Amino acid sequence: MGERVSPVPKRLLRSRRIRKAKISGDMIEKEFAVAESDLASAVRSLRDGDHKWATVQGYYSIFHAARALLFARGYREKSHRGLQAMLRDLYSREIPQQMFDDFRDAMIMRESADYGLVSSVEEPMISLTELRAS
């Protein structure tokens, strides 16, 4: 009997936001290394008071770690939201729900920092709650 595929991966594969790929162990290790480097950079930026840049770097640390996990299952992403949705589907039994929520929140914060909706961590021009509702 064939493996049952849930609707989320089917939709993501059909829309080409996610695709099957041959992934080497080196590619997975590289993504984890980039995640660690981005996290260290985010910590330095935060210490220096550059909250916007720390937000962006912190998000990309999460993104590259998530990408490594996606690679480990033989997939590549074509969109950040596709990565997030596929990761949730592939790892829902291994990763606590709160971590998926944190990834989503980090994505919203990064978009806000990049596109000018938030001027700093201390003084948001729009709240995370308002962003989620939009």
Q: Spell out the domain ranges in the chain.
A: 7-133
What is the rounded average pLDDT for all residues in the chain? 85
pLDDT at position 30 is: 98
What's the CA gap between 9 and 78, in Å, rounded?
Answer: 13
pTM (2 d.p.): 0.81
| Beta carbons of 81 and 11 less than 8 angstroms apart | no
- What are 71-108's pLDDT values in tens digits? 999 999 999 999 999 999 999 999 999 999 999 999 99
Topology of domain 7-133, per CATH?
A: Four Helix Bundle (Hemerythrin (Met), subunit A) (1.20.120)
Using 50, 70 and 90 to split pLDDT, how confident is the model at 38?
very high
- Tell which phi-psi region holds residue 130, choosing left (phi > 0), alpha (psi between -120 and 50) or beta: alpha
